[in-house]
């Protein structure tokens, strides 16, 4: 049986545009409607085009749109959607206070993908396995979505609508991801297990804890590759909030995570393996985040 693979040459014809500003990009999207598709680093889009899952008439490259570039540190952090995974992984502003995001970017498969792939592309592709998504969820990220003449801010937790689906409407572009300043005494961590290093995750998890002495005063736990979208696990977060930060408490919360996630069996892992790995990496991430929260500076 003939199957399209990621290694074939792109045969179907399409037009290509490289706008120099958001205004030009919006005009192209308005003119071409659903026939147009945005291209950032192309590491997801080109694979889908080669496999003929997508056949846009017009590919609109965002490479020349300078408004999408850059990391700005203020009270919190503003990250342009076109910022590459490599830039994030090297950013002192990310490393200083957003350890889970830094670790998620460092866990990206290969150097070439890190240099090409962008944060905007990672979340807009809406894969349940997107590495940055659990990290952004525990950092309480919001997404800025713009269209010609309007802008809205959506909490990342409300951005994903299913595998490959987001709340983006035709004509909209994600321009920024914003992270609020973490509370004093915050520690975070990200963990990922994959079949080989250069692969998307079998399971990935991020956690963030706020520590006040021996007690946990705030907790977020999020996972990828265990449900149709990246998810937070509210019952485990509630179990830890107000509790003492002990190995026993972390093990119990990890057990709740393994119970509450909804993994499937697929080519990358079985459902039972995913539950087992989720339990292990969440417990490990909680211990690391707790330790970081106790080191004084917010990480
Ligand atoms: C070999 C290989 C290894 C990979 N390893 C990993 C991995 O370890 N972890 C991981 O999470 N992912 C991995 N990926 C997936 C991919 O590299 C990432 O999801 C990457 O961040 C996508 O970014 P991009 O800029 O290349 O997106 P693109 O392919 O350019 O775009 C992806 C989608 O988002 C849309 N889009 C892009 N930017 C915007 C925007 N600003 N506004 C609205 N829509 C937009 C595009 O139209 C497209 O539908 C891998 C891919 C490959 C091919």
Q: Mind listing the pLDDT tens digit for each residue in 246-297?
A: 999 999 999 999 999 999 999 999 999 999 999 999 999 999 999 999 986 5
What does R_g of the chain's alpha carbons equal in angstroms? 19
200-240 pLDDT, tens digit per residue, is 899 999 999 999 999 999 999 999 999 999 999 999 999 99
**Of 124, 152, 160, 197, best ligand 1 pocket probe by most atoms within 8 Å of the beta carbon:** 124
Task: State yes or no: pLDDT of 138 exceeds 70.
Answer: yes
CA of 121 to the centre of ligand 1 (A): 4
CA of 45 to the centre of ligand 1 (A): 7
Q: In degrees to the nearest 10, what's the CA dihedral of 206, 224, 130, 186?
A: -10
Bridge pairing between strands 142-147 and 150-155:
antiparallel
C-beta 22 within 6 A of ligand 1: no
- Given this model, what pLDDT does residue 99 score? 98
C-beta 43 within 6 A of ligand 1: yes
User: For residue 299, what pLDDT band results from cuts at 50, 70 and 90?
Assistant: low
C-beta 290 within 6 A of ligand 1: no
* Ligand 1 atom with least separation from CA of 133: 11
CA of 242 to the centre of ligand 1 (A): 38
Q: How far apart are CA 80 and CA 293, in angstroms?
A: 27
The tally of CA atoms less than 13 A away on the side-chain side of residue 97 is: 16
C-beta 194 within 6 A of ligand 1: no
Task: State yes or no: pLDDT of 3 exceeds 90.
Answer: no
9-63 pLDDT, tens digit per residue, is 666 789 999 999 999 999 999 999 999 999 999 999 999 998 888 999 999 999 9
pTM of the model: 0.96
Task: State yes or no: pLDDT of 8 exceeds 70.
Answer: no
- Given this model, what pLDDT does residue 1 score? 46
CA of 129 to the centre of ligand 1 (A): 11
Q: What are the distances in angstroms from CA 154 to CA 106, 124, 143, 275?
A: 26, 13, 5, 30
Contact 69, 82 (CB under 8 A): yes
Q: How far apart are CA 246 and CA 239, in angstroms?
A: 12
CA of 131 to the centre of ligand 1 (A): 11
- Given this model, what pLDDT does residue 178 score? 98
C-beta 176 within 6 A of ligand 1: no
Query: Average pLDDT, whole number, for the chain?
Result: 94
**Ligand 1 atom 38, closest CA:** 121
Domains and CATH numbers, the chain: 15-61 (3.30.43.10), 68-179 (3.30.465.10), 186-293 (3.30.390.50)
CA of 56 to the centre of ligand 1 (A): 16
**Of 113, 175, 197, best ligand 1 pocket probe by most atoms within 8 Å of the beta carbon:** 113
* Residue 24 neighbours by CB under 8 Å, 6+ apart: none
Contact 191, 106 (CB under 8 A): no
* Residue 112 neighbours by CB under 8 Å, 6+ apart: none
CA of 44 to the centre of ligand 1 (A): 4
- Given this model, what pLDDT does residue 13 score? 87
Bridge pairing between strands 15-17 and 58-61:
parallel
Contact 89, 102 (CB under 8 A): yes
C-beta 225 within 6 A of ligand 1: no
Mean pLDDT of 171-195: 97
Residue percentage of the chain with pLDDT more than 90: 89
CA of 85 to the centre of ligand 1 (A): 10
């Amino acid at each position: 049986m003939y199957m399209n693979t990621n290694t074939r040459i792109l045969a179907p014809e399409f037009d290509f545009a490289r706008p120099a500003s958001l205004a030009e990009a919006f005009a192209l999207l308005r003119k071409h409607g659903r026939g147009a598709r945005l291209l950032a680093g192309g590491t997801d889009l080109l694979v889908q085009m080669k496999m003929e899952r997508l056949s846009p008439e017009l590919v609109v490259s965002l490479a020349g749109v300078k408004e999408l570039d850059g990391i700005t540190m203020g009270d919190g952090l503003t990250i342009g959607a076109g910022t590459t995974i490599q830039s994030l992984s090297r950013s002192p502003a990310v490393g200083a206070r957003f350890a889970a995001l830094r670790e998620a970017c460092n866990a990206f498969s290969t150097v070439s993908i890190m240099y090409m792939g962008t944060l905007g592309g990672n979340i807009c592709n809406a894969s349940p396995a997107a590495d940055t998504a659990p990290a952004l969820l525990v950092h309480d990220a919001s997404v800025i979505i713009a269209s010609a003449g309007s802008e809205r801010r959506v909490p990342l937790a409300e951005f994903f609508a299913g595998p490959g689906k987001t709340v983006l409407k035709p004509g909209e572009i994600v321009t920024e991801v914003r992270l609020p300043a973490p509370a004093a005494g915050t520690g975070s961590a990200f963990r990922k297990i994959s079949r080989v290093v250069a692969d998307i995750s079998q399971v990935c998890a991020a956690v963030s804890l706020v520590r006040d002495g021996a007690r946990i005063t705030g907790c977020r736990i999020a996972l990828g590759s265990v449900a149709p979208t990246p998810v937070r696990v509210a019952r485990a977060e509630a179990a830890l909030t107000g509790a003492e930060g002990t190995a026993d408490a972390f093990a119990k919360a990890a057990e709740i995570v393994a119970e509450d996630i909804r993994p499937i069996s697929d080519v990358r892992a079985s459902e039972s393996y995913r539950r087992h790995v989720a339990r292990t990496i969440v417990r490990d991430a909680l211990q690391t985040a707790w330790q970081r929260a106790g080191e004084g500076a917010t990480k």
